[in-house]
Amino acid sequence: MKLLYPTSLSLDPKLLEGFNASIHSYDVTKPIPEDLIDAECLITWCNSPSNLKDAASRCKQLKWIQSLAAGPNDVLNAGFDPKTVTITTGSGLHDQTVAEHTLGMLLTAARKFHLMRDSQTQGKWPGNLGGPQPDKAPGTFTTLHEARILVWGFGNIAKTLTPYLRALGAEVKGVARHAGVRDGVQVYSEDQLPELLKETDALVMILPGSDSTKHALNAERLKTLPKHAWVVNVGRGTCIDEAALNSALDEGAIGGAALDVFEKEPLDESSPLYKQKNVILSPHAAGGRPRGAEGLIAENLRRFLAGQELKNVL
């Protein structure tokens, strides 16, 4: 049995020795070599769309694809037959890095580091941002202490992020498809969003990309947020209506936005988001470091060869 692992991943193949499988590397930017199209297992990470479409059309013996992305939209869009190919995700591999990035975005928004940096590059002293400042003035987002943080899409990343936020004194609530208490956090159903958004200082979105989440944050919901509230998106770019978001920013209807993902990536140079004063942009950089990938691959390979249920099945 052949297992293909990507050159985009720094993986020591010796870690997979001892299994009844031959391990082969492949270039994620090129078609699968002819002598490897009979592989049964494919590990994917940062593959080009053309590479995945090629694999879907030519690798007819594939039985299992291990994506290292938390949300394998690229694999799902490539055309693999879900009836014959089991797809497993990299859920859990990006929890720490995305949580850390999210915390950085929230602190930057609250402490106005982005405005200080703007002044620095212009050779100006931002005196209005220093000196005596009101502490937690009503209608402002200037600190995480006692800030009301609403996390929409309360999964593993949110569970990792919450202790960081609470350590700085934030009040954390969650929103998901099903209400309940998760890791000590009250999680509400989406039908309660209208009331929750009204009492939010920062909305953190960690939603997966799907038809059901497309433009989940639309013009109507943006109007519900307080004028000082920030929107942080580290989930999928399609979950926000970017045109509606830009209009809300133009009108001063929200405090700002910190975005790591976009409807189309790279974000087009003509996007008005680049020119917005209270917008922080990062180039899909929150994840990108699948920690523990070797362990997940080895465990799922063991299960696959033993005919057992795989972890993180989509």
Sign of CA dihedral 36, 37, 39, 44: positive
The residues, ordered by sequence, that sit 6+ positions from 199 with a Cβ below 8 Å of its Cβ are 148, 226
178 Cα distance to chain centroid: 20
Residue 221 to residue 194: CA distance in whole angstroms: 7
The residues, ordered by sequence, that sit 6+ positions from 148 with a Cβ below 8 Å of its Cβ are 170, 171, 173, 199, 200, 201, 202
Would strands 41-44 and 2-6 be described as parallel, antiparallel, or unpaired? parallel
177 assigned to active site: no
Tokens describing residue 115 = 């405005």
- The answer to whether 71 and 236 are in contact (CB under 8 A) is yes
Tokens describing residue 2 = 């052949």
CA nearest 146: which of 174, 113, 173, 168? 168
Residue type, 232: V
- Among 114, 182, 284, 291, the active-site one is 284
Q: How far is CA 164 from CA 55, 57, 101, 159, 235, in A?
A: 41, 44, 11, 10, 18
284 assigned to active site: yes
Query: Known catalytic residues?
Result: 236, 284
